[in-house]
């Protein structure tokens, strides 16, 4: 479970996050929507303890991330917008290294199974990842997350730039993980996929949660309309 309680983050005199409340239950895929600069990445970074909150608390499975960062990181998996790997190591070597960092080790066959499950072509397993396309790297990133057997996933625009097929496979993987009881928080700009894959949607603006929806209750068109309504107020913001 992921929980944000009155989470605030201030950079200098700029409030990036203005008291965010958020809860992602096991079996939830929570999609964070919002314009660029809304504070989605900031939220995810706070859960990862990459930055310290100005005030408020972020909890993973009930554990405060600032108090016990190493404990909470055992429970988390993270897939950034750009999965970055060691270019001079192969896909398998990268996977193995990160898996072991997470405290797991598997057989070579199991590692290959992870990569296969993420849809990486088998010819690439033993290749150095330096020449990998973004999509291929994302797939290794997903394999790393799988190998970690995390209770909660933090995904920051994980599918941006993936081809539709890969994107689709990714969504299916998420749904599988959801079925296994993971709590998934995903920042995305893809309203369509949010509706399709997500169980809940949160629309953020300027560091605030504007509205939360269950994807069951609304149509694609509704989501788009509500989203744009919230963004609309933005039009005047920089004009002055």
Max alpha carbon distance in the chain (Å)?
A: 60
Pick the piece of the chain touching Mg ion (CB under 5 A) from 6-14, 35-43, 55-63, 121-129.
35-43
Contact between 73 and another protein (CB under 8 A)? yes
Contact between 41 and Mg ion (CB under 5 A)? yes
- Both structure tokens of 125: 């397993």
User: Contact with another protein (CB under 8 A): which of 80, 135, 158, 207?
Assistant: 80
Contact between 67 and another protein (CB under 8 A)? no
Query: CA separation (Å) from 166 to 48, 77, 126, 151?
Result: 26, 20, 20, 23
Site string for another protein, 94-113 (x = CB under 8 A): ---xx-xxxx----------
Provide the minimum distance between the beta carbon of 36 and Mg ion in the complex, in angstroms, as a whole number: 7
Contact between 36 and ligand ATP (CB under 6 A)? yes
Pick the piece of the chain touching ligand ATP (CB under 6 A) from 30-38, 98-106, 138-146, 193-201.
30-38
- Which of another protein, ligand ATP, Mg ion, none binds 16 (CB below 5-8 Å, type-dependent)? ligand ATP
User: Contact with another protein (CB under 8 A): which of 6, 50, 133, 212?
Assistant: 50
19's CB contacts (< 8 A; 6+ apart) are 6, 7, 8, 56, 208
Q: Which is nearer to Mg ion, 35 or 175 (CB)?
A: 35
Contact between 167 and ligand ATP (CB under 6 A)? no
- Which of ligand ATP, another protein, Mg ion, none binds 37 (CB below 5-8 Å, type-dependent)? ligand ATP
Task: Using CB atoms within 10 Å of the CB of residue 138, give its burial: 0 to 12 exposed, 13 to 18 middle, 19+ buried.
Answer: buried
Contact between 230 and ligand ATP (CB under 6 A)? no
Site for ligand ATP in 6-25 (CB under 6 A): 11, 14, 16
- Both structure tokens of 85: 């790997």
Q: Which residues are near another protein by CB under 8 A?
A: 41, 45, 48, 50-52, 69-71, 73-74, 76-78, 80, 82-89, 97-98, 100-103, 141, 144, 148, 154
């Amino acid at each position: 479970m992921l929980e944000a309680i009155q989470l605030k983050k201030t950079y200098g005199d700029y409030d990036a996050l203005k008291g965010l409340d958020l809860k992602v239950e096991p079996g939830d895929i929570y999609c964070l929507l919002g314009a660029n600069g809304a504070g989605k990445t900031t939220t995810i970074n706070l859960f990862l303890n990459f930055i310290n909150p100005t005030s408020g608390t972020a909890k993973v499975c009930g554990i405060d991330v600032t108090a016990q960062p190493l404990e909470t990181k055992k429970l988390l998996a993270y897939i950034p917008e750009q999965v970055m790997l060691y270019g001079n190591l192969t896909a398998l070597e990268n996977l193995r290294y990160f898996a072991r960092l997470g405290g797991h080790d598997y057989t070579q066959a199991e590692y290959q199974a992870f990569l296969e499950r993420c849809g990486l072509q088998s010819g690439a397993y033993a290749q150095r990842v330096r020449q990998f396309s973004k999509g291929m790297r994302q797939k290794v990133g997903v394999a790393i997350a799988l190998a970690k057997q995390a209770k909660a996933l933090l995904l920051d625009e994980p599918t941006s730039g993936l081809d539709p097929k890969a994107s689709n496979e990714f969504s299916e993987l998420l749904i599988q993980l959801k079925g296994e009881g993971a709590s998934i928080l995903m920042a995305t700009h893809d309203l369509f996929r949010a509706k399709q894959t997500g169980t809940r949607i949160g629309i953020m603006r300027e560091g605030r949660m504007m509205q939360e929806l269950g994807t069951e209750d609304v149509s694609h068109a509704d989501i788009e309309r509500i989203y744009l309504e919230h963004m609309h107020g933005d039009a005047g913001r920089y004009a002055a």
